[in-house]
Structure formats: C-alpha cells, structure tokens
Amino acid sequence: MKIVVIGGTGLIGTKVVNILQQNGHQALAATPATGVDTISGKGLSEALEGAEVVVDVSNSPSFESDAAMAFFKTAGENISAAEANAGVKHHVALSVVGTQRLQDSGYFRAKLAQESKIKASAIPYTLVRATQFFEFIRGIAQSGTSGDTVRLSHAPFQPMAAQDVAAAVACAALGAPVNGTLEVAGPEILRLDEVIAKVLDADRDPRKVVTDSEAPYFGVRLNNPSLLPDGEARYGATTFGWWLVNVRRLPKDRLAKPVGAERWDPMGVC
C-alpha cells in the first residue's frame, strides 16, 4: 500500500516512514526537501498519485498565533484538495492531547482549527492526539527560561517517547478510519517541573528549575487535567527512566531507527 507521510523527514515522520516500510508498505516522505511543499502546493498532486493513505505529521515552523494559523489553514486546504483529486481513502493527522483546553495559546487555537477542517473534509480520517514527547522536554525548558532560571508548573503530564508516538501514528495509518480521535500517552503520570529538572541535571545544564504555579506553558496557565488524556487512551511502553538512560544521548542519525529492539516493538501501541 502506498502511504504518503507529510513531514516525513522530521522527528516523528522519519520514524513513521521506517515503521511502515518495515511492515512492507510503500511509504513516501513528502517535505520541501523531497520536492513537496504543502504551502505552495508544489509537488503535492504528484506525490499523492496512487496513495491510499496520507499521514500528516508536519508542524508550523512558528508558534506565533497568526503564522501557525496561516500554516495549518493553507497546508490543510492544499492537502485536502490534493487528496480528493487522488482518491485518498484515509487521512491521518497528528495532534496534541489537551488541545481543546489550551485555547489561550494561538498555536493551540491553530491546531484546533486544523482538527476542525479535517473533520469537515469529505476524506475519512483518524486524528491521533499524543502527549508531549520526551524529545520535546528541552524545548519546554527553553520556553520557561529566564537567565539561569526555568520557571515551570507542577502540573501532571504523561510524556512519551517519539518512537511510541510514531508507532501509534503508523498503527492508525494501517487501520480503518475511525472518523474520530485516538489519544496516546506515556505509561506514567509525572510532573512537568520534576521531569525537566531531571533532564537538565542529566545534561549537566546549570539552569535551575523553579516550581511556579503561575508559570505559563506556551502562554497557557496549566491546571491538573490540562495535559492529560481525556479518558481512555492507548499507552506507549517506554518509561521516562528507560528513555533517559538509553535514548537521550543517542546521535541524531540513530534516533530515526528503532533503538533497543527488545523494548521498541514497531507496532507496539496498536
């Protein structure tokens, strides 16, 4: 089966392509680097020709409100039109657990608008909402940094390995459209400030994490359920402790490949 992965050369997309290929499918990475631009539409129709499934794991290059909204609106319209012309049977998109609760952020308003457009399209779909990736932890730290201090909420969250996110997305792509939302999360409920402090400590980063209930998370004040799955979710197997020891310091060229095959079943989140 031909499956086009938009954003297929990024952190999640590379892993999705690898998993699909390991399972015998023709997976095509569609990005500007491979000649496909969802904003201009260049190369999109050609890439989707003969595809049964389109997976969109692309992201706005900016978290700024207007830029993110413009990205998801333009890309979404171009992808939807190209899918209709190509006769695509299933659209899978990656989104974020808690998006509907984070609407004080322009970025998350754009993500919700993206979800709404997918739901309104004639193409059968599956939305996969994932919790924060372990690999995104340093980005969260940077967002809360002022000088040598990182101010963060003590809010609970359920982060997961990027490889587990990719497995969930690949699993959705190989299944029937649910015309709804699937949520995936890590196996443990942890605390935002504590996890980031541990990563910075392991990195020997001198910044100090200060717990602050008012600290914004990308412009949003968090409460207890903000970042947690709504209800029934699927769970990745990779714990934070295992990731910290086995994956955190791997060279970038190895992060695209399954690491520790005994732990990372390519379809383990199905």
Choice between 268 and 142, residue whose per-residue pLDDT is larger? 142
Q: Which residues contact 259 (CB under 8 A, 6 or more apart)?
A: 163, 246, 247, 250
Per CATH, the number for 2-255 is: 3.40.50.720
Residue whose token pair is 């680097």: 33
Mean pLDDT estimate for the chain: 92
pLDDT at 268 over 70: no
The pLDDT, as a whole number, for residue 137 is 94
Number of neighbouring beta carbons within 10 Å of residue 129: 23
For residue 91, the surrounding DSSP H or E stretch is strand 90-96
pLDDT digits (tens, 9 = 90+) for 238-248: 999 999 998 87
What are the backbone dihedrals phi and psi of residue 29, each rounded to the nearest 5 degrees, phi first? -80, 120
pLDDT at 147 over 50: yes
Q: Which residues contact 213 (CB under 8 A, 6 or more apart)?
A: 153, 154
Nearest to 68, CA basis, from 105, 18, 13, 14? 105
159: exposed, middle or buried (Cβ count in 10 Å: 0-12, 13-18, 19+): buried
The pLDDT, as a whole number, for residue 24 is 93
Q: Where are the domains of the chain?
A: 2-255
Nearest to 134, CA basis, from 209, 14, 240, 8? 240
| Burial track 188-208 (b if 16+ CB lie within 10 A, e otherwise) | eebebbebbbbbbeeeebebe
Arithmetic mean of pLDDT, 143-163: 96
Distance CA 235, CA 161 (A): 11
The dihedral of CA 219, 60, 177, 117: what is its sign? Answer: positive
Confidence of residue 196 (pLDDT cuts 50, 70, 90): very high
DSSP H helices in 121-161: 137-143
Arithmetic mean of pLDDT, 223-235: 90
The pLDDT, as a whole number, for residue 232 is 85
pLDDT at 260 over 50: no
Distance CA 144, CA 62 (A): 17
pLDDT digits (tens, 9 = 90+) for 9-62: 999 999 999 999 999 999 999 999 999 999 999 999 999 999 999 999 999 999
The pLDDT, as a whole number, for residue 270 is 63
The pLDDT, as a whole number, for residue 256 is 41
Distance CA 188, CA 154 (A): 15
